[in-house]
Amino acid sequence: MATAKCFTDEPQLQSRRKHNLQEMLTEVGLSVDYWLPKLQEDLGVTSAQALQYLDRNDLQKLKSQTTHTWEKRALEKLLDFSQPNSVAELQETPREMKKNRQRQAGQA
């Protein structure tokens, strides 16, 4: 019975993911009617989560299909939105780690 429920929930889940992708396109000012099919057909992107796996080559493919220069910047922003945090942002630099250790040692 659990598998039957899983199959019935799948179309709803796909619809939500597609909706999130549409929201993200709208948020950066890109036309959903134009860009959603491009993402789906050219790159296989069907959900907002999939955007985080696009690389520079994919971005260049999309940029080649723009008609206005602002769309290129909007695409860059779209892909930045899809990145939760870059690895560099998540990692402390050695200097920051040393300062944190010294601060913690001083508090102890």
Over the stretch 44-91, which tens digit does the pLDDT of each residue have? 999 999 998 999 999 999 999 999 999 999 999 998 866 554 444 445
**Band of the pLDDT at 4, cuts 50, 70, 90?**
low
Domain boundaries, position 10? 2-82
pLDDT at position 28 is 94
Q: At what angle do helices 2-27 and 69-82 cross, to 10 degrees?
A: 140
Residue 93 lies in a domain: no
pLDDT at position 86 is 45
Whole-number mean pLDDT of the chain? 79
Where helices occur in 28-93 by DSSP H, the ranges are 32-37, 43, 56-63, 69-82, 87-90
Predicted model pTM: 0.61
- DSSP assignment of 5-17 equals HHHHHHHHHHHHH
Residue 6 lies in a domain: yes
Burial of 6 (0-12, 13-18, 19+ CB in 10 A): exposed
pLDDT at 17 over 60: no
Residues belonging to the chain? 108
Residue 66 lies in a domain: yes
Residue 89 lies in a domain: no
When comparing pLDDT for 89 and 2, which is higher? 2
**For the chain, what is the domain count?**
1
Residue 74 lies in a domain: yes
